[in-house]
Amino acid sequence: MENKIIWYPNDFLLHHQWRFHNSKARIKILVGGWGCGKSLTTTIELINNMTIPRNVGFLGRFEIPELIRSVLEDIIFAYLPPDIYKHNTIKRTITFKGYRSTIVYSFLNPSKLKNKQMGGSYGVVCVDQMEEITEEVFEILLSRLRRDETNRVFLANANPNGKDWIYRRFIATAEEQEIKPSKRYFEEIVKKNPIIADLFDYETFPPYKEYINAKEASHLIVVPTWHNPFLPEDYIKSLLKLPEDVRKRYVDSEFTEFSGKIYTEFDERKHIYLTDKLYKTGDVYVAIDPAIQGTTAVLFACYDKDKIYVFDEIYVEKAYPHQIINKIREKLDFWEIEENKVNFIIDGASKKLYHSKDKSIYHEYVILNPLPKIADKLNLILNTKLFFYNNKILIHKRCENTIIEHNNYKWKASSSKEEPLKENDHTVDCLQYIVDEIRIKYDINFTNILTSDLQIEEDLITLAEDEVHERLANIRAERLKVMRELKRNPRPWRAV
């Protein structure tokens, strides 16, 4: 540490950080809750390995944009003086001039990865969010630690991810040690962030754990988020708004597996409403989970006054795209919503080819100009759980299939990785896509979502069931006239 390029941006080294930096293990992994500083810790250790002359390091994460944002921009470029390093964006290298050492960085997504992108001989390898990668990719990276003139070391950080490969390899057979820092240390943490004292006293302050695995020559540290006193007060308060199972894993850093019912936060007493609203003031979203031989589901929702109102659905077996499109337009006509003001979203899998090599289900829906939605399933689930937990989703009672599916959505049992049971989840997928689009557009996350009492606005308008059926019948009659006219004077309905 004597020739360090950089140290921490504050004057207080956390206890687990000190243990991590002074570990002599070949494989050093820091597992922690959100905001515990694990990326900062491993990155600083990586940078300090660059003080070894002519050393070559590898830095990777599943996707490049996340790596650039969380490590390069937020840490390396933020803390290092510009004259110390040279960044080559084309070669994806960061060279440290005075030491003639270099970091090569890359994505680790197996669907895009070629072995040559991980090729080379390295003195240090660092992986950000290692739970995102497979054990096979880890093995390849570990085999690249072969520079004889350096103290070879593998660095990584990760979120707890149930009984995944990291747990099985580095924890299950390791020696566990519980680390309880001194009372004086706890008092120093409280001085830096008094809100910690509102949550814990010294006796109840959670310890962190270490796992020494001699077979792997590994040292793994597991630390709860509460050990970082530099987090803003509002951020710490927001952690208490997380659903219990999410908080246990991503704040308390427990390796408990998600099992059983997924949306334990979904409560019909809180999340079902009976009256209808004029959906004109908020953003309208229509999400499509398409199929031809199976079930096609479409969900209609409006985001208004910080709540998502799911106000209608389509749930049809073995329907062709043009039939679904007609039904969607019927619904929009019924609710007096202009099609060009709707945000259409479609399952990204619809872009896969079917029947022939040049056709996809997405091609059939292109007239609606839908956004193909592809995102990490676990993140989609966690964000939707967050919205339910904070009472930001209301589902109308008429959406019977939506209610049934959300009540019965479960984790798959006996799986090598955590994933939902893939059955009766069509409206579930649709709502996840809608939540994710709203989350991105309005930059909503657990740190800025506000818990509020569930209230139904006074301007909701009740529509009797017979009036609903009458209006739908009139719309269908008008549609039938249009279809008959099209048969007499055909024209292509698909966009070119």
How confident is the model at residue 12, as a pLDDT?
A: 82
Q: Is 409 a member of any domain?
A: yes
- 300-304: long-range contacts, CB 8 A cutoff, minimum separation 24: 300/331, 300/335, 301/431, 301/434, 302/277, 303/438, 303/442, 304/277, 304/279
Q: Which of 250, 278, 302 marks a domain boundary?
A: 250
Q: In terms of Cα–Cα distance, which of 86, 139, 77, 87 is closest to 108? A: 139
Mark whether 119 and 149 lie in a shared domain: yes
pLDDT confidence tier of residue 357, bands split at 50, 70 and 90: low
pLDDT confidence tier of residue 11, bands split at 50, 70 and 90: confident
Mark whether 340 and 204 lie in a shared domain: no
Are 364 and 494 in contact by the 8 Å Cβ rule? The answer is: yes
Distance of CA 315 to the CA centre of its chain: 27
Stronger pLDDT, 131 or 450, i.e. the higher one: 131
Mark whether 401 and 440 lie in a shared domain: yes
Q: Dump pLDDT digits (tens) for 69-102.
A: 999 999 999 988 888 999 999 999 999 988 999 9
Q: In terms of Cα–Cα distance, which of 70, 135, 68 is closest to 106? A: 68
How confident is the model at residue 5, as a pLDDT?
A: 63
**Radius of gyration of the chain, Cα coordinates, nearest whole angstrom:** 27
pLDDT confidence tier of residue 329, bands split at 50, 70 and 90: very high
pLDDT confidence tier of residue 452, bands split at 50, 70 and 90: very low
Report the share of the chain in percent with pLDDT over 70: 84
How confident is the model at residue 125, as a pLDDT?
A: 96
Q: Is 472 a member of any domain?
A: no
How confident is the model at residue 454, as a pLDDT?
A: 32
Q: Dump pLDDT digits (tens) for 393-422.
A: 999 999 999 999 999 999 988 666 788 998
Average pLDDT over residues 438-446: 84
Q: Is 348 a member of any domain?
A: yes
Mark whether 245 and 284 lie in a shared domain: no
Please spell the DSSP secondary structure of 280-309, one letter per residue. TSSEEEEEEE--SSSEEEEEEEEEETTEEE
Q: In terms of Cα–Cα distance, which of 2, 5, 106 is closest to 50? A: 5
**3-state SS, residue 260:** coil
pTM here? Answer: 0.75
Residue 387 burial (CB count, 10 A): 22
Q: Dump pLDDT digits (tens) for 167-192.
A: 999 999 999 999 999 999 999 999 99
Distance in angstroms (rounded) separating the CA atoms of residues 210 and 162: 17
**Between β-strands 208-213 and 342-347, what pairing exists: parallel, antiparallel or unpaired?**
unpaired
How confident is the model at residue 481, as a pLDDT?
A: 62
How confident is the model at residue 491, as a pLDDT?
A: 39
Are 308 and 343 in contact by the 8 Å Cβ rule? The answer is: no
Strand partners of residue 16: none
How confident is the model at residue 10, as a pLDDT?
A: 72
Mark whether 243 and 275 lie in a shared domain: no
Distance in angstroms (rounded) separating the CA atoms of residues 473 and 483: 15
Q: At what angle do helices 321-334 and 465-488 cross, to 10 degrees?
A: 130
Which tokens belong to 340? 């060009």
Q: Dump pLDDT digits (tens) for 285-310.
A: 999 999 988 999 999 999 987 899 99
Mark whether 241 and 298 lie in a shared domain: no
**Domain tally for the chain?**
2
Mark whether 298 and 173 lie in a shared domain: no
Residue 311 has pLDDT above 80, yes or no: yes
Distance in angstroms (rounded) separating the CA atoms of residues 275 and 464: 9
Q: Dump pLDDT digits (tens) for 257-270.
A: 888 999 999 999 99
pLDDT confidence tier of residue 461, bands split at 50, 70 and 90: very low
How confident is the model at residue 455, as a pLDDT?
A: 34
Distance in angstroms (rounded) separating the CA atoms of residues 231 and 10: 12
Q: Is 488 a member of any domain?
A: no
Quickly count helices (H) and strands (E) in the chain. 17, 17
Mark whether 313 and 404 lie in a shared domain: yes
How confident is the model at residue 41, as a pLDDT?
A: 95
How confident is the model at residue 495, as a pLDDT?
A: 30
Which tokens belong to 102? 């270099």
Q: Is 339 a member of any domain?
A: yes
Q: Is 203 a member of any domain?
A: yes
Residue 384 burial (CB count, 10 A): 27
Stronger pLDDT, 49 or 482, i.e. the higher one: 49
Average pLDDT over residues 230-258: 90
Which tokens belong to 183? 């009372």
Mark whether 135 and 38 lie in a shared domain: yes
Q: Is 9 a member of any domain?
A: no
Q: In terms of Cα–Cα distance, which of 440, 10, 446 is closest to 236? A: 446
Any idea which residue has 């059939």 for tokens? 364
Strand partners of residue 179: 208
Residues in the chain: 496
Which tokens belong to 166? 């990291």
Mark whether 301 and 157 lie in a shared domain: no
Q: Looking at residue 157, which CATH number applies to its domain? A: 3.40.50.300
How confident is the model at residue 450, as a pLDDT?
A: 42
DSSP state of 406: H
Q: In terms of Cα–Cα distance, which of 79, 55, 64, 67 is closest to 7? A: 79
How confident is the model at residue 119, as a pLDDT?
A: 67
Mark whether 120 and 239 lie in a shared domain: yes
**3-state SS, residue 354:** coil
| Burial grade of 392 (CB within 10 A; 0-12, 13-18, 19 or more) | buried
Strand partners of residue 289: 297
Q: At what angle do helices 38-49 and 15-22 cross, to 10 degrees?
A: 30
* Residue type at position 238: S
Residue 118 has pLDDT above 90, yes or no: no
Average pLDDT across the chain, whole number = 86
DSSP state of 226: G
Q: Residue 260: left if φ>0, alpha if ψ -120 to 50, beta else—which one?
A: left
Q: Looking at residue 286, which CATH number applies to its domain? A: 3.30.420.280
Q: Which of 216, 250, 284 marks a domain boundary?
A: 250
pLDDT confidence tier of residue 490, bands split at 50, 70 and 90: very low
Residue 27 has pLDDT above 90, yes or no: yes
Mark whether 224 and 276 lie in a shared domain: no
Q: Which of 218, 250, 282 marks a domain boundary?
A: 250
Domain enclosing residue 175, as ranges: 15-250
Q: Is 257 a member of any domain?
A: no
How confident is the model at residue 117, as a pLDDT?
A: 57
